[in-house]
Chain A
Amino acid sequence: MKIHEYQAKELFAKYDVPVPKGVALSSHWESYDAALEVGGDTFVVKAQIHAGGRGKAGGVKLAHSPDEVAEIAENMLGQTLVTKQTGPEGKQIKKILVSAAVNIDKEYYLAILVDRKVKRLAIMASTAGGMDIEQVADEQPEKIQLEHAQYNCQLFPYTARKIAYGLGFRGRLARECARIITNLHRLFMEKDCTLIEVNPLVLTHEGSLLCVDAKMDIDDNALPRHPELRRLRDFEEENNLEILARRYGVDYVKLDGQIGCMVNGAGLAMATMDVIKQYGGEPANFLDIKGSANKENVVKAFKLLTADRHVKALLINIFGGIVRGDMVALGILEAMKEVKVNMPVVVRIEGTNAEEGRRMLAESSHKFILADGLAEAARKVVAVLPGGNR
């Protein structure tokens, strides 16, 4: 689960990690007062969307008075921001963060993340702050310092010190940097994060360290044990169908094609999208019905797929495995009684008793288009699209 910068900064503050004073808001009318509350004479207005690259895309603006803050807020809220991480359709700005501007002497990069390769927590730091860290890793890998947490994901004091000194801090600042790293690690552990990224961590002109940006991802698998984090989810950031899918307990991602996909298994669901593309179509979604293709699951999937008005045809691809093909067919037929499906449905069932399943579908009153194998399924579903596919 992604959370916004302002939410991450609120958590940082609770863990005694220094952040600039700021106020988040969703109506530009609040922005003037927000600026007064923040205080000072220079402000930063930042778009709060779940994507990086905001600065270069015009989602971060400097203001020199509360009036100017109000002006920027009015322009920014409601605008669609296209960054290199949002995709071409961009994301609408529904919240902004008004912060006190900071006099920057030097910028650093700091992150805690899961190093999948060595199966440990890693702390990553760089003196090349405020830049795209992937680019730094490619072009100046020597500027990146990587340290790992120890037994039970513990961070020992020496590791925090090693990073602080490695970044070039000495004396009071080294101690402060190590303290920030230690506190961020505690936050990471206690809130089951998969990523905390501070880019940049700033040394101010006045000689203090501040986290000017904050990114935090929380492990979906751990959400059941963090009820307090659930309300941090911003439903405005998600597609309505994706919200519904989560309630249904199926994995669904909305895409922008016309072919609705219903598949069991995440890998096969991705491969199904890929094969549709290979045959000239565009998938409307990723959908893993999880578990077996019983009536309840198929009903949920049908409801999601038919609620997407761009969907013009359905492709059901179920690899039965241990679940029998005739049971899958029964599930589909039962679900059809409950949900109205007014479009061509291509079905591919594989596994034990798949023949029987296919026969049941062929003999039903619905005009299923049956397919044998992935390629045939994709070819048939692309062919039934009205007026061809985009």
Chain B
Amino acid sequence: MSIFVDKNTRVVVQGITGREGSFHTRQCIAYGTQVVAGVTPGKGGQKMDEVPVFNTVAEAVAETGANTSLIFVPPDFAPDAILEGTDAGLELIVCITDGIPTMEMLKVMHEVTCAATRVIGPNCPGIITPGQAKVGILPGHIHLPGNVGVISRSGTLTYEVVSQLTKLGIGQSTCLGIGGDAVIGTDFVDCLKAFEHDPETKVVLMIGEIGGQAEETAAEYIGLNVTKPVVSFVAGLSAPPGKRMGHAGAIISGGKGTAHAKLEALQAAGVHVVQDPSQIGLTVKDVLAGL
């Protein structure tokens, strides 16, 4: 088991003929992901390697039975791409694109929440179920199949913690980056809920960062609903207020969204909080040993 993606996931890549799109499509295929179609308007009928390219997502779905999309189109066109995927009835859309205006995402999310489609991202590294499928840009080789579910707001920091786990011989059930923007599709609570119900997952590792209230909301949810142990690190303890730390969503404003407040909330919910990011893997190991 796993959450959101597995070996049966059938992927359509939106923006497959672009530089990033084609590069990462090959990486996903090499990992074993079933990439069944690509979409680039105007290039329908062509092929990217062996992958058939369609003009619309609807056509791709009708012809290939794709149920998940991976989006690489530039920020100006990405909101439209998400809406197109939603309209085509996809189960899951993973949007890698960075730099989408907040207002556009607000409009998109209004539509998405009315549909049955799950959106992961934008501005995220995607999702991987080790040994089964990778839908995104995460480096496959650092992952190991296992029982730790990993959720994170960042990209390379996710790779960092996964690599700590793998080096200790600790595998992962599913790992996903939910994105660094202020407005994102799938949030911590959605993932916590899914991991709680996933029999394969024994421990959840949640990597937060400064800005917003997502970690506080997650803490509240964990306190009430999550029976599995949760380990958490929140990046940005040393970040100054008022400055956007790279990610659009990572800013401490009006005294809200500090790492301290988040750690306190998580601790109060019984989460194993790690302050030193180099010790995340070891903490998970201890928690697993205590099960």
| A contact residues vs B (CB 8 Å cutoff) | 50-52, 84-85, 87, 114, 116-117, 119-121, 133-134, 151-153, 189, 192, 194, 219-222, 225, 251, 253, 255, 263-278, 283, 286, 288, 290, 319-322, 350-352, 373-375, 378
Complex-state Cα separation, A276 to B276, whole angstroms:
9
Complex-state Cα separation, A166 to B68, whole angstroms:
45
Kindly identify which residue among A52, A221, A269, A350 contacts B245, using a CB–CB cutoff of 8 Å.
Answer: A269
Complex-state Cα separation, A46 to B286, whole angstroms:
55
Verify B207–A278 contact, CB threshold 8 A: no
Query: Please, which residues of chain B bring their CB within 8 A of the CB of A274?
Result: 235-238, 275-277
Kindly identify which residue among B142, B163, B207, B243 contacts A253, using a CB–CB cutoff of 8 Å.
Answer: B243
Verify B237–A221 contact, CB threshold 8 A: no
Kindly identify which residue among A51, A52, A319 contacts B159, using a CB–CB cutoff of 8 Å.
Answer: A319
Kindly identify which residue among B156, B182, B242, B245 contacts A264, using a CB–CB cutoff of 8 Å.
Answer: B156
Query: Please, which residues of chain A bring their CB within 8 A of the CB of B182?
Result: 114, 116, 194
Verify B109–A119 contact, CB threshold 8 A: yes
- In the complex formed, the residue of B with least CB distance to A190 is B103
Kindly identify which residue among A51, A153, A263, A350 contacts B103, using a CB–CB cutoff of 8 Å.
Answer: A153
- In the complex formed, the residue of B with least CB distance to A116 is B212
Verify B241–A85 contact, CB threshold 8 A: yes
Tell yes or no: B273 within 8 A of A by CB: no
Query: Please, which residues of chain A bring their CB within 8 A of the CB of B235?
Result: 267, 270-271, 274
Verify A221–B99 contact, CB threshold 8 A: yes
Query: Please, which residues of chain A bring their CB within 8 A of the CB of B236?
Result: 270, 273-274
- In the complex formed, the residue of A with least CB distance to B114 is A151
- In the complex formed, the residue of B with least CB distance to A322 is B139
Shortest distance between the CB of A64 and any CB in chain B (Å) = 33
Query: Please, which residues of chain B bring their CB within 8 A of the CB of A222?
Result: 101-103
Complex-state Cα separation, A275 to B153, whole angstroms:
18
Complex-state Cα separation, A271 to B250, whole angstroms:
13
Query: Please, which residues of chain B bring their CB within 8 A of the CB of A268?
Result: 154-157, 159-160
Query: Please, which residues of chain B bring their CB within 8 A of the CB of A221?
Result: 75, 99-102, 181, 248
Shortest distance between the CB of B69 and any CB in chain A (Å) = 20
Verify A275–B156 contact, CB threshold 8 A: no
Tell yes or no: B158 within 8 A of A by CB: yes
Shortest distance between the CB of B160 and any CB in chain A (Å) = 6
- In the complex formed, the residue of A with least CB distance to B100 is A221
- In the complex formed, the residue of A with least CB distance to B154 is A267
Query: Please, which residues of chain A bring their CB within 8 A of the CB of B250?
Result: 266, 270
- In the complex formed, the residue of A with least CB distance to B113 is A119
Shortest distance between the CB of B149 and any CB in chain A (Å) = 18
Verify A374–B109 contact, CB threshold 8 A: no
Since A85-B241, A255-B240, A352-B141 are in contact, a sample of 12 more A-B pairs with Cβ atoms closer than 8 Å, ordered by chain A residue number, is: A117-B217, A134-B254, A219-B102, A265-B157, A267-B158, A267-B235, A270-B209, A270-B236, A271-B277, A275-B277, A351-B142, A375-B279
A119-B183, A275-B278, A352-B139 known; A87 vs B103 contact (CB < 8 Å) = no
A133-B254, A275-B278, A286-B239 known; A151 vs B102 contact (CB < 8 Å) = no
Verify B156–A265 contact, CB threshold 8 A: yes
Verify B239–A321 contact, CB threshold 8 A: no
Query: Please, which residues of chain A bring their CB within 8 A of the CB of B99?
Result: 221
Verify A270–B278 contact, CB threshold 8 A: no
Verify A120–B106 contact, CB threshold 8 A: yes
Query: Please, which residues of chain A bring their CB within 8 A of the CB of B171?
Result: none
Verify B239–A273 contact, CB threshold 8 A: yes
- In the complex formed, the residue of A with least CB distance to B256 is A134
Complex-state Cα separation, A378 to B276, whole angstroms:
11
Complex-state Cα separation, A192 to B254, whole angstroms:
20
Query: Please, which residues of chain B bring their CB within 8 A of the CB of A251?
Result: 244-246
A268-B160, A275-B277 known; A351 vs B154 contact (CB < 8 Å) = no
Complex-state Cα separation, A189 to B238, whole angstroms:
34
A sample of 29 cross-chain residue pairs with beta-carbon separation below 8 angstroms, ordered by A number, consists of A50-B242, A51-B242, A114-B106, A120-B106, A121-B106, A153-B110, A189-B103, A192-B103, A221-B100, A253-B244, A253-B245, A255-B240, A266-B246, A266-B250, A267-B153, A267-B157, A269-B246, A271-B160, A271-B277, A273-B238, A274-B237, A274-B238, A275-B276, A275-B277, A278-B276, A286-B246, A322-B27, A350-B160, A378-B278
